[in-house]
Amino acid sequence: MSQFQPARLKGKKVLVRVDFNVPLDNDFHITDDNRIRATLPTIQAILDAGGSAILMSHLGRPKGGPEDKYSLRHLVAHLQHLLSNRMGKNIAVEFADDCIGEQAFQKAAGLLPGEVLLLENLRFYPEEEKGDAIFAEKLSKLGDCYVNDAFGTAHRAHASTAVIAQFFAPDQKMFGLLMEGEVSSAEKILHVSEKPFTAIIGGAKVSDKILIIENLLQRATDIIIGGGMAYTFKKAMGGNIGKSLCEEDRLETARQLLEKATAAAVTIHLPEDSVIASEFSAQAETAIALSNQIPEGWMGLDIGPKAQEAFSACILRSKTILWNGPMGVFEMQPFQAGTLSVAKAIAEATRLGAFSLVGGGDSVAAVNQFGFADQVSYVSTGGGALLEYFEGKELPGIAAIRS
Ligand code: AMP
């Protein structure tokens, strides 16, 4: 069983792996609480069903032992506030100074239905990232059931994300609601995608996206390539790209990907024109040029108007859309238009009935920044995990629940 079944959680102590790896400022205030908010529906469903929730997570990259700046204690007050607001009543969040050991065990054992316990940072133990089975077994003793709601770490075979699942019977482990939404959206894209299926891949580097492009060549009808990585392709095709971003050691890979696409009858769309700049700066002089005729000393920092039009037309024809990576340096106002036009086209295609998934840090930041997050079908919380999923890899966090 992998499906979330709250009815099974009545009276149970539910050990939930969440991804509370949120950014904190110097005063330990949370600067972006989206990851916490994303898992509130699961916690609420457990409490509403008459279970108690024992939450465990990592935070930051501690160097193998406790460090105050990575303590999950800093999250307690805000979690309490968010949960209480959501549930319309006061929900107290208990905290255990250690994720295993006597205190954690006692606090977990004493939990009553409707109560919440947050455990200290799992990564204060190196055993967590090593996937140590003894550590995983100790964690497993804290709960009667195991729920994995941490899609962001589903690509890691860590103790709390994967190894722990073997200590629970199949009917005592399941995905949480967030994980379920992530997995079903990703599976819809990869396995039941209605055609035409357009994947839009952008960002800085070809090298980061080779595996995903290769895997998508077997599934997509169209692949749009934008962002800095497009110039490696343009150069591989014999173009002049000035001082645009280029991975010289990937020119051959780019050529091979284009050949594979032709063989697989997948249309690759590269930007015909670009917004070029004299330097990498929001104050730079800018102009429009063909992407394969960029003058010496200039660099392409966004797709141009012709590319915007062509990409939008392709997106509007699509029934399935995956977007990973911006079309340009959208953090700087003069180079935003390309990414914005893609976000707009995806929103419009979604209104027309397409299924659209946006995933990967920077494209998610872009849809949020431009206000389109609620106009696409699904915005993923998983960066690395989502990429690995679309590279065709089996994610240990998913496999462990299903096995
Ligand atoms: P990635 O992390 O590989 O998805 O890349 C995202 C980053 O690529 C963003 O910070 C963008 O500013 C950057 N980027 C996008 N297009 C370009 C470009 N044409 N030249 C340089 N950087 C770019």
Distance CA 215, CA 43 (A): 35
Consecutive H or E run containing 56: strand 52-56
Which residues are near ligand 1 (CB < 6 Å)? 203-205, 208, 227-228, 245, 300-301, 325-326, 328-329, 331, 362
At 1 the pLDDT is 64
In angstroms, how far is CA 286 from the centroid of its own chain?
Answer: 33
Nearby residues of 204 by Cβ (< 8 Å), 6 or more positions away: 227, 228, 229, 245
Going by C-alpha positions, the residue among 173, 65, 180 that lies closest to residue 122 is: 65
Please name the residue whose Cα sits nearest to atom 18 of ligand 1. Answer: 228
Please name the residue whose Cα sits nearest to atom 4 of ligand 1. Answer: 203
State pTM to two decimals.
Answer: 0.92
Please name the residue whose Cα sits nearest to atom 20 of ligand 1. Answer: 228
Task: Parse the chain into domains and list their residue ranges.
Answer: 6-180, 193-390
At 265 the pLDDT is 97
Compute, in angstroms, the gap from residue 198 CA to the centroid of ligand 1: 20
Catalytic residues: 35, 205, 361, 384
Mutate to test the pocket of ligand 1, among 311, 333, 362 (most ligand atoms within 8 A of CB): 362
Compute, in angstroms, the gap from residue 147 CA to the centroid of ligand 1: 36
Say how many CA atoms lie within 13 Å of 197 toward its Cβ. Answer: 18
Compute, in angstroms, the gap from residue 89 CA to the centroid of ligand 1: 44
- Which pLDDT tens digit goes with each residue over 228-276? 999 999 999 999 999 999 999 999 999 999 999 999 999 999 999 999 9
What is the pLDDT tens value at each position of the chain, 403 positions in all? 689 999 999 999 999 999 999 999 999 999 999 899 999 999 999 999 999 999 999 999 999 899 999 999 999 999 999 999 999 999 999 999 999 999 999 999 999 999 999 999 999 999 999 999 999 999 999 999 999 999 999 999 999 999 999 999 999 999 999 999 999 999 999 988 899 999 999 999 899 899 999 999 999 999 999 999 999 999 999 999 999 999 999 999 999 999 999 999 999 999 999 999 999 999 999 999 999 999 999 999 999 999 999 999 999 999 999 999 999 999 999 999 999 999 999 999 999 999 999 998 789 989 999 999 999 999 998 888 999 999 999 999 999 999 8
Asked if 311 and 202 touch (Cβ cutoff 8 Å), the reply is: no
Please name the residue whose Cα sits nearest to atom 17 of ligand 1. Answer: 228
Distance CA 270, CA 277 (A): 19
DSSP line for 255-282: HHHHHHHHHTTPEEE--SEEEEESSSST
- Superfamily, domain 193-390: Phosphoglycerate kinase, N-terminal domain (3.40.50.1260)
Number of residues that this document lists for the chain: 403
Compute, in angstroms, the gap from residue 202 CA to the centroid of ligand 1: 7
At 95 the pLDDT is 98
Nearby residues of 242 by Cβ (< 8 Å), 6 or more positions away: 276, 294, 295, 296, 297, 298, 299, 300
Compute, in angstroms, the gap from residue 227 CA to the centroid of ligand 1: 6
Mutate to test the pocket of ligand 1, among 201, 250, 329, 331 (most ligand atoms within 8 A of CB): 329
At 350 the pLDDT is 98
Mutate to test the pocket of ligand 1, among 234, 245, 270 (most ligand atoms within 8 A of CB): 245
Distance CA 63, CA 267 (A): 46
- Which pLDDT tens digit goes with each residue over 293-325? 999 999 999 999 999 999 999 999 999 999 999
Please name the residue whose Cα sits nearest to atom 6 of ligand 1. Answer: 203
Please name the residue whose Cα sits nearest to atom 10 of ligand 1. Answer: 329
- Superfamily, domain 6-180: Phosphoglycerate kinase, N-terminal domain (3.40.50.1260)
Structure token pair of residue 305: 């108007």
Compute, in angstroms, the gap from residue 172 CA to the centroid of ligand 1: 43
- Radius of gyration over every alpha carbon of the chain, rounded to an integer in angstroms: 23
Point out the ligand 1 atom lying closest to the alpha carbon of residue 202.
Answer: 4
At 192 the pLDDT is 81
Compute, in angstroms, the gap from residue 301 CA to the centroid of ligand 1: 8
For strands 293-294 and 240-241, give the pairing. parallel
Please name the residue whose Cα sits nearest to atom 11 of ligand 1. Answer: 329
Which residue in this structure is represented by tokens 């096995």? 403
Structure token pair of residue 25: 């400022």
Point out the ligand 1 atom lying closest to the alpha carbon of residue 360.
Answer: 4
Point out the ligand 1 atom lying closest to the alpha carbon of residue 326.
Answer: 15
Task: Say if 6-180 and 193-390 have the same CATH topology.
Answer: yes
At 349 the pLDDT is 98
Structure token pair of residue 383: 């960066």
- Residue 188 DSSP label: H
| Residues 6-36: b if buried by 16+ CB within 10 A, e if exposed | bebbeebbbbbbbbbbbebeeeeebeebebb
Distance CA 152, CA 359 (A): 11
Compute, in angstroms, the gap from residue 307 CA to the centroid of ligand 1: 17
Point out the ligand 1 atom lying closest to the alpha carbon of residue 226.
Answer: 16
Asked if 165 and 193 touch (Cβ cutoff 8 Å), the reply is: no
